[in-house]
Amino acid sequence: MVNIGVLALQGAVREHVTSIEACGANAVLVKRAEDLNGIDGLILPGGESTTMRRLIDLYGMMEPLRVFANEGHPMFGTCAGLILLAKSLVNYDQSHLGVMDVTVERNSFGRQVDSFEANLTIHGVAEDFPAVFIRAPHITEVGFNTEVLCEHNGRIVMAQQGQFLGCSFHPELTDDHRITAYFVNLVENHMKQKVKT
Amino acid sequence: MNQHLTGTDRVKRGMAEMQKGGVIMDVINAEQARIAEAAGAVAVMALERVPSDIRAAGGVARMADPLITEEVMNAVTIPVMAKARIGHISEARMLEAMGVDYIDESEVLTPADEEYHLIKSQFTVPFVCGNKDLGEAARRIGEGASMLRTKGEPGTGNIVEAVRHLRKLNAQVRKVIHMNDDELMTEAKILGAPYHVLLEIKRLGRLPVVNFAAGGVATPADAALMMELGADGVFVGSGIFKSDNPAKFARAIVEATTHYQDYKLLVEISKDLGMPMKGIEISRLEAKDRMQDRVL
């Protein structure tokens, strides 16, 4: 069974834990850098990216998280988590972790009254997936090696670059675990590769 | 264009789920909003006066001047909440039209209606409401509240009422979860709670919406205590900007909420914070000054 961490500084942590466990993997809360030891993949949940960033800095987690990414571990960011992963952010000089080759715009669908849900097709992952968007960001540009998995009304809302998976919406707010299962599978494949090499 | 639904329960309740483990801070202008955001607040509550000043000023407390709310909305990228008077349909609709992210139908303001709360399910914008027990909590959910908070006793800097409210609610929720189906209707009658909300609580094994602590949080230790007792997050009203060093206080309360069981850390962040807000002993409040007893 693979161990999947959930960055547990703030946000929809409980929902991701439930989803990971429903997919037959072990969920581990990551509140400190040392909690990264022994986990095989990491989910960065929805929440407030500015709050999470402040706490990442405060507890010296920025470097360990980048090392974790550079070691090839799969990482999956939902909403705020996508913002944390992105290489660049529209209207900001600096990114956060900056490991995934996408450009992301924050709150790009508007304020909370514009938040919405829609059923989406996610290429190679799920048909008719109930996607919940809350003050959501979207991906304005993807790098050469990044595959667009889903668009909604002309905007990129989910993408994958090898080990990195990111989406604008909140799969954790539904009982549909297909996207989490896809990520768990990524982690399992990563572990198999690791054993071989 | 694909189907695209706004204002659903999932979207409204989900917004509050994203705030879990965070601190929502009362602010009265752009400068305070920026301090709150920099300290790591997950949202700010824009208002004209913090509760302790509302208490001191007396008279009728109303929705803030829209200029103040707009100033705050323009100053930060985190969500902005604002308060409307209980039952004041027009104030709530105005806040919705302005695009605030969450409305607090709040007993801190002078109620506009002493009998009826808003039917919040009719709005696209989500609402948070106060509660002292499961009867109140379930009625607010029944009306369409997407988030709850304890009432506590706002503006007192005294945590005792928030503790009472959270403990009572959680005990009642535990009881409902373990009840047999044939006992639930009578429990609904006793509590004055909508039956379907109790059914949902029993099915989920918890409240269907998040419940934050509010009303009397004055120190990092108070925030940690409320998290320890099962709050999903914390509202701080007067506690931050009525303290000696608001920025430091704000940062410390954010840390205490995230790491509420790291007691050594709590010790470190509680050092040399300066004076917290001056508190009020609840028993010295006259009945008419108890905000928690407004419209149940």
Cβ count within 10 A of residue A92: 14
Task: Give the percent of chain B with pLDDT over 70.
Answer: 99
**Average pLDDT over all residues of chain A:** 96
pLDDT digits (tens, 9 = 90+) for A137-150: 999 999 999 999 99
pLDDT digits (tens, 9 = 90+) for B5-42: 999 999 999 999 999 999 999 999 999 999 999 999 99
Residue B142 phi, psi (nearest 5): -60, -35
Residue in B77, B96, B101 nearest the CB of A106:
B77
Instruction: Give B41's contacts in chain A (Cβ within 8 Å).
Output: 51
Instruction: Give A112's contacts in chain B (Cβ within 8 Å).
Output: 15, 79, 99-102, 125-126
Q: Judge whether B83 counts as a catalytic residue.
A: yes
Over residues B160-178, mean pLDDT: 98
Residue in B38, B42, B258 nearest the CB of A48:
B42
Over residues B101-107, mean pLDDT: 97
Q: Is the pLDDT of residue B284 over 90?
A: no
Per the CB < 8 Å rule, is B20 touching A173? Answer: no
Residue in A50, A54, A118 nearest the CB of B4:
A118
Sign of CA dihedral A51, B271, B228, A4: positive
Strand A41-44 with A3-7, pairing: parallel
Q: What is the DSSP string of A71-101?
A: TT--EEEETHHHHHHEEEETT-S--SS--EE
Strand B102-106 with A41-44, pairing: unpaired
Q: Distance, in angstroms, between B281 CA and closest chain A CA?
A: 33
Residues of the domain holding A119:
3-196
Those residues whose C-beta lies under 8 Å from the C-beta of residue B253, and which sit 6 or more positions away, are B23, B217, B219, B220, B223, B234, B236, B239, B240
What residue of A is the nearest CA neighbor of B73? Answer: A111
Residue in A51, A168, A169, A170 to test binding to B, most B beta-carbons within 10 Å: A51
Residue B102, sorted as left (phi over 0), alpha (psi -120 to 50) or beta, turns out to be beta
Q: Enter the ipTM.
A: 0.95
The encoded tokens of residue B195 equal 């039956």
Q: Please report the pLDDT score of residue B1 as a whole number.
A: 46
Say whether B171 sits in a helix, a strand or coil.
helix
Instruction: Give B37's contacts in chain A (Cβ within 8 Å).
Output: 50
**Average pLDDT over all residues of chain B:** 95
Contact A46, A137 (CB under 8 A): no
Instruction: Give A117's contacts in chain B (Cβ within 8 Å).
Output: 5, 8, 10-11
**How many folded domains does chain A comprise?**
1
User: Rounded CA gap, A179 and A126, in Å?
Assistant: 7
Instruction: Report chain B's terminal Cα–Cα distance, integer Å.
Output: 44
pLDDT digits (tens, 9 = 90+) for B37-75: 999 999 999 999 888 888 888 889 999 999 999 999 999
DSSP H helices, chain A, are 13-22, 49-58, 62-70, 80-85, 178-196
Q: Please report the pLDDT score of residue B2 as a whole number.
A: 59
Name all contacts of B176-184 with Cβ < 8 Å and 24+ positions apart.
B176/B134, B176/B201, B176/B202, B177/B201, B177/B202, B177/B205, B177/B206
Over residues B193-197, mean pLDDT: 98
Per the CB < 8 Å rule, is B126 touching A135? Answer: no
Instruction: Give A46's contacts in chain B (Cβ within 8 Å).
Output: 17-18
Per the CB < 8 Å rule, is A120 touching B6? Answer: no
Helix axes A49-58, A62-70, angle to 10 degrees: 100
Per the CB < 8 Å rule, is B11 touching A135? Answer: no
Per the CB < 8 Å rule, is A112 touching B126? Answer: yes
The encoded tokens of residue B192 equal 């004055």
Per the CB < 8 Å rule, is A112 touching B40? Answer: no
Q: Please report the pLDDT score of residue B289 as a whole number.
A: 86
Instruction: Give B70's contacts in chain A (Cβ within 8 Å).
Output: none
Per the CB < 8 Å rule, is B20 touching A10? Answer: yes
Amino acid at B243: S
Per the CB < 8 Å rule, is A55 touching B5? Answer: no
Residue in B15, B78, B100 nearest the CB of A115:
B15
| CATH code (residue A46) | 3.40.50.880
pLDDT digits (tens, 9 = 90+) for A118-143: 999 999 999 999 999 999 999 999 99
Q: Please report the pLDDT score of residue B55 as a whole number.
A: 86
Contact B44, B27 (CB under 8 A): yes
Picking from A48, A47, A101, A43, the residue whose alpha carbon sits closest to that of residue A68 is A43
For residue A107, count CB atoms less than 10 angstroms from its CB and return exposed for 0-12, middle for 13-18, buried for 19 or more: middle
**How many helices, marked H, and strands, marked E, lie in chain A?**
5, 12
User: Rounded CA gap, A35 and A39, in Å?
Assistant: 8
Per the CB < 8 Å rule, is B101 touching A112? Answer: yes
pLDDT digits (tens, 9 = 90+) for B112-158: 999 999 999 999 999 999 999 999 999 999 999 999 999 999 989 89
Q: Is the pLDDT of residue A195 over 90?
A: no
From A12-26, B144-158, B160-174, B237-251, the region with the lowest mean pLDDT: B237-251
Those residues whose C-beta lies under 8 Å from the C-beta of residue B168, and which sit 6 or more positions away, are B132, B133, B134
Q: What is the DSSP string of B20-55?
A: TT-EEEEESSHHHHHHHHHHT-SEEEE-SS-HHHHH
Say whether B142 sits in a helix, a strand or coil.
helix
Residue B118 phi, psi (nearest 5): -70, 150
Q: How confident is the model at residue B283 (pLDDT cuts 50, 70, 90)?
A: confident
Those residues whose C-beta lies under 8 Å from the C-beta of residue A73, and which sit 6 or more positions away, are A39, A40, A41, A42, A163, A190
Contact B27, B33 (CB under 8 A): yes
pLDDT higher at B55 or B265: B265
Q: Which residues of B touch A (CB under 8 A)?
A: 1-8, 10-11, 14-15, 17-22, 37-43, 77-79, 96, 99-102, 124-126, 254-255, 258-259
